[in-house]
Structure 1
Amino acid sequence: MNDIPFRSSATRSLGIELELQLINLADGHLSDKSLEIISLCNDDPHIKKELTLSTIELNSSVHDSPFPLYEEINALARKVATIAKEKQCGLCGGGRHFSNIWKNQTITPTKRYAELHQQQGFLAKLSCVFGQHIHVGVGSGDEAIYLCHALIPYLPHFIALSASSPYYQSEDTGFASSRFSALNSFHTFGLIERDIDNWEKFIGYVEECTELEVIHSQKDIYWEVRPKPELGTIEIRVCDTPLTLFHAAMLGGYAQLLVKYLLKNRVSGAQARNAVTQTNAFQAQRYGFEAQYIDITKRVRIPLSAHIQHMFDTLENGANIEDRKVLSYLSAYVKQGINDATRLREKVQSGMSEVEVARDLMEMLLPSAHITHSPS
């Protein structure tokens, strides 16, 4: 069996990836000028291309806290936005573009993306959606595999907290987050398999799937929580891209706190039935904070917002000043009961045009007056 080395990282180290929409300033539609803009960013390793030409990905450095991470990602976004403006483009968040027609998208001309397009066919263009990926450092491959299982009950939290894709091709989908519908047809999408309970078994899984040509490399494993051995992290992949950068940073802070808690308070390896797990995720995607959550330990349905708040209260124990600021912000967000999906609906229902909505979203991502958030 071939070895896959896992690069140990300091627990709680944090990084995020943000897939941002590249918007044509004239009409509010997606623009295909990402390569032109990225080429003017002086080979900044934190500014990257993605599957379609209408996406620009920002990757943070490694941080101990979400607050300096926010400052860095804000600086990166403003740098890109300044260059994009010269190309009559802007940046915004959101899990889907309001009216994007999938067939109009252009695949980014790289070898990997060309191969992915060839393998996935129309699904590659259909998956022109925008997400946030959260990386939290862990000490070993075995810890990463444990967390791929242990984080599953909390994925609906991240779905509801980040939901920002209620519209698809100008129609209200009725979902808080419809982004998942563009991704779940990939044959390696989903959750870690139940029988993979340590790093050695993960290596065996990768080896077998590669041998059988199910995948070509680890990059083809699109689990909702997956290990990233080259980074020494676990990666949470269920979030829509939020409408504000600070919210994105706070979601990273929540992931940090959850990982710390789950490593300190080891949970049983037993998982809920797939139907229960899928129902909880569907409820969060469909209804956001108004979803019902099946608590498998108590075998009852409770409001998802109550389950989220209970975890916030649990994490308060032993929390430092920065941790409490993260929890206070997110707790207020949940109690308000209004997420980014609701905000988008409110803009449309108020009569704003698509161009007006796009401009408003660009201002939300990068307000004219930057606010520096301090944990003090």
Structure 2
Amino acid sequence: MDTASGGTTISEEMAQEAESQNLLTLGIEEEYLLVDAVEPRGVEAVEEVIDRIPPEYAESVQHEYYRTQIEVASPPQLELSGLYEAMRELRGVVSGAAEQAGARLVAVGTGPAAGPVARLVDRPRYHRMRERFGDLSPGQGMCGTHVHVSIPDPESGIRVLNHLRPWLPVFQAATANSPLYNGHDTGYASWRSMLWERWPTVGPTPHLESHEHYEQIVSDLVASGAMLDEGMLYWYARLSAAYPTVEIRMGDVMPSLDDALLLAALARGLVATLLRDIEEGAPAPDVPHPLLMAAHWRAAKDGLEGQLLDLATREPRPAWRLMRQLFDYVRPELERHGDLEMTTVLMGRLRSHGTGAARQRAILGRDGTVSDVVDWLAGATRGAS
């Protein structure tokens, strides 16, 4: 929850290719819940799972805050197909290690089933966080998806952050995958989003004047005690502290790798489109903070199955209308990066089967149980459905 990783460092060959063609690289981090092999509750198996990860994957798999969680980070990629293969391989390796440890790997935003509060991973940083902030992350853990997109330089990144703000509720709605918590339906498509907002630095990125302004805010927040260091800057989009990337980080982890790939492609297309707009002199949208908060609330409440707040007109619109608007806006950059054909297919699949939240509720609507939901989530995470 507090890392700033984005996988391994980009290769020199990939960096040269990206620069020569003016293309952006991208990578994904995913956090998962570990659940019992039979029961739907979380299980504290992260050490046993990591012990079974082959050495060649060790740099891409890491602990999270609770012993019921684990995280993976892809290497940076230029091609969407390469990102798919990297993430498919990582999910498979970690799923296999979890099964050997008597657990299952589940891509879900919050623990669907009731169970005891998990213990922290025994690291000094996590103990300091608990001492400073108390019980802000209850239950078995919260699991998200973070997408890293390369940027030319920090100042360009700051301008991108300013332009990103009105689009991020659409990403939040598309990733919604946590309707269940402690054994009941919360009434939200992304309950993780509501729990996550308890942390003092979670929320929309403020309008920033410069990279110096960004660094000053980070320094002031650390001095205030609201975060231990820059790794705890939990804005919905931020500059990575470790890599030359913009990190989009407000989404739930998704059971379908197709959906995660769609999010990554749209994120890269959007960053590339915004860089073009910025170069052409387009000003950043002036969106009042209360309206941004309202838009994110609607995204968490209904996902793509309801309405979102259109921040251009300031009126509610069908969520899929705004999703399509995003796709059309970034279409030229999807095409330039070679992502258009695959992204079109992935959009169709998401439209057909719905978000993770919708699919979980569909299982319950067919007289399924929370255990049935977790069984499906585990299978989807592994790639079986």
TM-score (norm 1): 0.89
Contact 2:28 2:147 in 1 (8 A): yes
Which residue matches 2:132?
Answer: 119
Task: Provide the C-alpha distance between the structure 1 equivalents of 2:329 and 2:233, rounded to a whole number of angstroms.
Answer: 32
Structure 1 position 334, deviation (Å): 5.4
Matches within 5 A, 1:30-179: 30-43=42-55, 44-101=58-115, 104-126=117-139, 128-179=141-192
Which residue matches 1:343?
Answer: 359
Task: Provide the C-alpha distance between the structure 2 equivalents of 1:332 and 1:250, rounded to a whole number of angstroms.
Answer: 10
Q: Residue by residue, what CA displacement relative to the aligned partner does 1:279-328 show, whole Å, maximum 9, x if unpaired?
A: 11111111122443343434544223212202212322361483212431
Is the counterpart of residue 356 in structure 1 residue 372 in structure 2? yes
Structure 1 position 270, deviation (Å): 4.1
Q: Residue by residue, what CA displacement relative to the aligned partner does 1:199-229 show, whole Å, maximum 9, x if unpaired?
A: 1111222233334444331112111101114
Q: 2:348 aligns with which of 329, 332, 336?
A: 332
Which residue matches 1:373?
Answer: none
Contact 2:353 2:359 in 1 (8 A): no
Contact 1:289 1:337 in 2 (8 A): no
Task: Provide the C-alpha distance between the structure 1 equivalents of 2:106 and 2:311, rounded to a whole number of angstroms.
Answer: 37
What letter is aligned with 1:354? Answer: V
Structure 1 gap ranges (5+): 1-6, 370-376
Which residue matches 1:286?
Answer: 301
Q: Provide closer, same or farther for how the CA distance between residues 347 and 81 of structure 1 changes in structure 2, counting only shifts above 3 A.
A: same
Percent identity of paired positions between Structure 1 and Structure 2: 23
Q: Provide closer, same or farther for how the CA distance between residues 81 and 300 of structure 1 changes in structure 2, counting only shifts above 3 A.
A: closer
Task: Provide the C-alpha distance between the structure 2 equivalents of 1:132 and 1:220, rounded to a whole number of angstroms.
Answer: 16
TM-score (norm 2): 0.87
Contact 2:265 2:339 in 1 (8 A): yes
Is the counterpart of residue 259 in structure 1 residue 243 in structure 2? no
Q: Provide closer, same or farther for how the CA distance between residues 291 and 24 of structure 1 changes in structure 2, counting only shifts above 3 A.
A: same
Which residue matches 1:241?
Answer: 253
Contact 1:65 1:253 in 2 (8 A): no
Task: Provide the C-alpha distance between the structure 2 equivalents of 1:304 and 1:121, rounded to a whole number of angstroms.
Answer: 36
Q: What SS does the aligned partner of 1:29 have?
A: coil
Which residue matches 1:3?
Answer: none
Q: Residue by residue, what CA displacement relative to the aligned partner does 1:103-136 show, whole Å, maximum 9, x if unpaired?
A: 5211111111111111121113358111101111
Q: Provide closer, same or farther for how the CA distance between residues 163 and 100 of structure 1 changes in structure 2, counting only shifts above 3 A.
A: same
Which residue matches 2:203?
Answer: 190
Structure 2 gap ranges (5+): 1-8
Q: Provide closer, same or farther for how the CA distance between residues 100 and 259 of structure 1 changes in structure 2, counting only shifts above 3 A.
A: farther
Q: Residue by residue, what CA displacement relative to the aligned partner does 1:138-163 show, whole Å, maximum 9, x if unpaired?
A: 01111111122211111111111111
Matches within 5 A, 1:222-233: 222-233=234-245
Query: Across the two proteins, how many residue pairs are aligned to each other?
Result: 361
